[in-house]
Amino acid sequence: MNKRVIKEKEKRRFNILQAAEKLFLSKGFENVTMQQIALKADFTRRTLYSYFSSKEDLYLAVFFKNSRKRWQQNMKMMDAEDNVVDKLRAYGRANFDYAMKNPRLFRFNIYWEHNGLDMNRVSKQAWQEFSQPQQEAIKHMAAIFHQGIAEGIFRADLDSCRMMRILCITLRSTLNEVILGYESEDFYFNYLDLFIRSILR
């Protein structure tokens, strides 16, 4: 396959993702059809399905595209800090800043957690593309907990991977309350402080 063909395929995929994202954010994932995405991208359904086998595959692709940008921002802010406590605070701040700047994207990203996704409609290829960077992010976060335990800053009885998941999930839940207008910014950062205090030795 020559470079021109590869670039054309990449351009088509990008246009499909852009169309899907716009529709998902404006109408909601459950209210969008593959036909609507094809029309928005100015392609036929046949062309659309040659790139994505289901709407769920498109969800993961859009999720990954935006999560990659967010995670790069998170890592930049965390890596700028020297100690593990400040790294966790930086992670919390990075997530907050992202959600405040991109509230519709944030709600789209947590749709899966609140509403579920039909995994029977997710292709193996889409899941592999999604899973690899997710696992890298998980390892990065878990390493912070491992470091904190090794340095005697965090409690030694903690399961690093489990604590990382608890932090990520609960921060998203408390942040959702702020985005929806039910709680103030203090609610989010007070929870972050409470979590950090609970894991200190």
Contact of 199 with 155, CB cutoff 8 Å? yes
Say yes or no: domain 53-199 is CATH 3.40.50.10610: no
Instruction: Tell me how many helices (H) and strands (E) the chain has.
Output: 10, 0
Our CA dihedral for 107, 165, 125, 14, rounded to 10 degrees, sits at 40
pLDDT in the model for residue 56: 93
Residue spans per domain, the chain: 1-52, 53-199
pLDDT tens, residue order, the chain (201 aa): 678 878 888 999 999 999 999 999 999 999 999 999 999 999 999 999 999 999 999 999 998 888 888 888 888 899 999 999 999 999 999 999 999 999 988 888 888 877 788 888 888 888 888 777 777 788 888 889 999 999 999 999 988 888 888 998 899 999 999 999 999 999 999 999 999 999 999
The topology (CATH level 3) of 1-52 is Arc Repressor Mutant, subunit A (1.10.10)
7-14 long-range contacts, CB within 8 A, separation 24+: 12/43, 12/47, 12/51, 13/51
The answer to whether the 1-52 and 53-199 domains have the same CATH topology is no
pLDDT in the model for residue 41: 95
The first and second tokens of residue 180, run together, are: 């929806």
pLDDT in the model for residue 1: 66
pLDDT in the model for residue 100: 93
pLDDT in the model for residue 46: 93
Non-local (6+) Cβ contacts of 37 within 8 A are: 16, 19, 20, 23, 48, 55, 58
